[in-house]
Structure 1
């Protein structure tokens, strides 16, 4: 039978993050006025990461961080075939999630202080020195390549599981379900949907406040 593993907020986060990552890369490569969209995509990434962190504590069973704590020992045991597959994130997948949140979150936060050395700068750049802006901008550009590598590993893992392990990772991230037994599914109800919407609104509001902080300070 099919059971719910990935709730809709987790799935929506996953696909929106992918869209924003692609949009951010395309817009920064185009440059010029497209940089406005680069910043917008970055703000969306920040909001998504904030939401996912919150959802990691109050979401459904397999979305909670408690269900996939980072464990180097379990990861090594998994690579040696001593840990069986689970419905949720396996030990390697767990590290991937934490790395994505850390690096994408750091990239989005760094973008708030970075500039393009021409006409665009992050909304919080005015609060730090020019030397700090230059340093953060360099780190922002360097981390871009780290993210490329992480995304390549992520896609490579998907292909490996699909063709070598005969396991589809993409389908369940669309449907939310996997084959399982009664009692293995995620705990879900209408209340969690409401909670997800509240947290999404709060995350968006937090990003809006951060982005407009410079304007309000300047006004007063």
Structure 2
């Protein structure tokens, strides 16, 4: 009788953590709609419409309105759309930067599949600039402030900052897509992301 038990066999397969990927819905229709229409509006006003034209103004007001809608949705929207899920607190930023400095790119799981802290900072910066553009643009059109030259200068500063922020946002999305092996641009179209689910291999 062979008393050599399975537990003594070095080739025995033991229970070990494995990772399985599942596709889940992350970005709802409101997040995706506002994202792409805002992007289209920014592109239109930076590259195609004439400054001061009615079309330029209307596009700007639509974009500002969508930013306001997205801000409201950040409080009442779905799980990953809410600010509570991704607001860039100092603790979240510190943890994310520490991971990046150690070349540890966290894989997406159900808890961190939303915006990372740096992406959240970029979003808030873009939203602030867009609102600033809307306020200064409206103030010039309504002649609220006598010194319109100063308003125009401020408006131009906001507009010029988009030439830095927008490419940085796009390049960051491409870089993180490569690092996480996750097409983030496609995810913002379909709303879906692949997440890692840890399990035990009991076979």
TM over 0.5: yes
Q: Note if contact 1:6-1:63 (Cα within 8 Å) is conserved in structure 2.
A: yes
Structure number with the bigger relative contact order (C-alpha 8 A, sep ≥ 6) is: 2
Residues 102-113 of structure 1 mapped to structure 2, 5 A cutoff? 102-113=128-139
2:156 maps to 1:130: no
- Gaps (5+ residues) in structure 2? 1-21, 198-203
Q: Is the 8 A contact 1:74 1:83 kept in 2?
A: no
Is the 2:182–2:193 Cα contact (8 Å) retained in structure 1?
Answer: no
1:37 aligns with 2:55: yes
| Residue 178 (structure 1) aligns with | 193
Please report how far the alpha carbon of residue 166 of structure 1 lies from its aligned counterpart in structure 2 after TM superposition.
2.9
Q: Which residue in 2 is equivalent to 1:9?
A: 30
The residue matched to 1:6 in structure 2 has which SS? coil
Cα distance in 1 for partners of 2:23, 2:180 equals 20
Indicate conservation of the 8 Å contact 1:113/1:137, yes or no.
no
Match runs of 1:136-215 below 5 Å:
136-180=151-195
Residue 56 (1) aligns with residue 74 (2): yes
**Aligned-partner Cα distance in 2 for 1:96–1:72:** 15
Matched, 1:23 2:30: no
CA 1:10 to 1:168, structure 2 compared with 1: closer, same or farther past 3 Å? Answer: same
TM superposition shift of 1:83: 8.1
User: Matches of 2:194 and 2:179 in 1, distance apart?
Assistant: 19
- Relative to structure 1, the CA distance from residue 179 to residue 163 in structure 2 (aligned partners, 3 Å threshold; closer, same or farther) is closer
Report if the CA contact (8 A) 1:25-1:38 is conserved: no
Aligned residues: 168
Which residue matches 2:3? none
Give the superposition deviation at 1:42.
0.4
Unaligned runs of 5+ in 1: 115-121, 183-220
2:97 counterpart of 1:79: yes
Considering fraction of residues, name the structure with more helix: 1
Structure number with the higher strand fraction is 2
Name the stretch that deviates more: 41-50 or 163-172: 163-172
Q: 3-state SS of the aligned residue for 2:193?
A: strand
Q: Does 1:90 align with 2:116?
A: yes
TM-score, normalized by length of structure 1?
0.70
Distance 2:36 2:122 in 1: 16
SS in 2 for 1:2: strand
